[in-house]
C-alpha cells in the first residue's frame, strides 16, 4: 500500500478502509486493505473519485 494522506480511517477486525486525497491526480482514493498474520498489507480494491464528487470530513 502506498503512503498517502489518510483523511478518514475505519478499522473493523483485520480489514481497514482508508479515504485519502491524492494530490497528484486531484482525486479522492478509497483503499480497502487486508492484513495477514505477518502484518503485511494487501490491497483488495481501489476506487478513484474525482474532486468534488464526494463530500468528506477531516
Show me where the domains of the chain are located: 5-50
Q: Which three cell numbers stand for residue 3?
A: 503512503
- pLDDT above 60 (res 5): no
- What's the pLDDT score for residue 46? 46
What pLDDT does 40 receive? 47
User: Counting Cβ atoms within 10 Å, is residue 17 exposed (0-12), middle (13-18) or buried (19+)?
Assistant: middle
Provide the pLDDT confidence category of residue 3 given band limits of 50, 70 and 90: low
User: Residues 6-56: pLDDT tens digits?
Assistant: 444 444 444 555 566 656 655 555 666 555 555 444 444 444 444 444 444
pLDDT confidence of residue 19: 60
Amino acid at each position: 500500500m502506498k503512503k498517502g494522506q489518510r483523511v478518514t480511517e475505519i478499522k473493523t477486525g483485520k480489514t481497514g478502509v482508508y479515504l485519502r486525497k491524492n494530490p497528484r491526480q486531484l482525486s479522492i482514493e478509497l483503499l480497502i486493505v487486508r492484513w495477514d498474520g505477518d502484518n503485511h498489507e494487501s490491497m483488495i480494491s481501489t476506487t478513484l473519485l474525482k474532486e468534488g464528487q464526494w463530500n468528506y470530513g477531516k
